[in-house]
Amino acid sequence: MDIQAALGPALLASASDAIVASDREGAIVFWNPGAERIFGFSAAEALGQSLDLIIPEPQRARHWEGYDRVIASGESRYGAGDLLAAPGIRKDGARISLEFSIVLVKDGSGQVAAMVSVMRDVTAKFEEMRALRKRLAGAV
């Protein structure tokens, strides 16, 4: 078995983390089983839709400002190991807390052709930290 050849397809088919790719305009072009599990939308429902599908309305303007800047510059600080923390929204309308990194896919001329986000639902961790901060603030 060629492990290197099997690695990419195995990662993309994983249900542990959401892997979502979008084109230059922000339309979803890839949606893995992890994205289905985390966000509740099937691939058929998500493909071709705007990323607004999973971005809460109050965060959309800020998201698109950053998205457009990354597309234009070809650089993102979230591709070098830094994690971005942001809220997301599920199909049922529930807000979730996400941490994710970004991978830029560039064409032959070096222009960004797509952006891939690898996302993890950290809602439980976020809620635990908020409760802990509350308890600590009350103890002072």
Q: What pLDDT score does 115 carry? A: 96
Cα separation of 73 and 32, whole Å?
A: 27
Residue 123 in this model has a pLDDT that exceeds 90: yes
Q: Which residues contact 83 (CB under 8 A, 6 or more apart)?
A: 99, 100, 101
Mean pLDDT of the chain: 91
Extract the tokens encoding 2.
């060629």
Sketch the domain layout of the chain as residue ranges: 16-139
pLDDT tens digit sequence for 45-101: 999 999 999 999 999 999 999 999 999 999 887 766 778 899 999 999 999 999 999
Q: Which CATH architecture has domain 16-139?
A: 2-Layer Sandwich (3.30)
Q: Looking at per-residue confidence, does 122 or 139 come out higher?
A: 122
- Percent pLDDT > 90 in the chain is 69
Residue 24: exposure state from Cβ atoms within 10 A (0-12, 13-18, ≥19): middle
Could you tell me which of 136, 38, 32 has the C-alpha nearest to residue 87?
Answer: 38
Residue 86: how many other CB atoms lie within 10 Å: 18
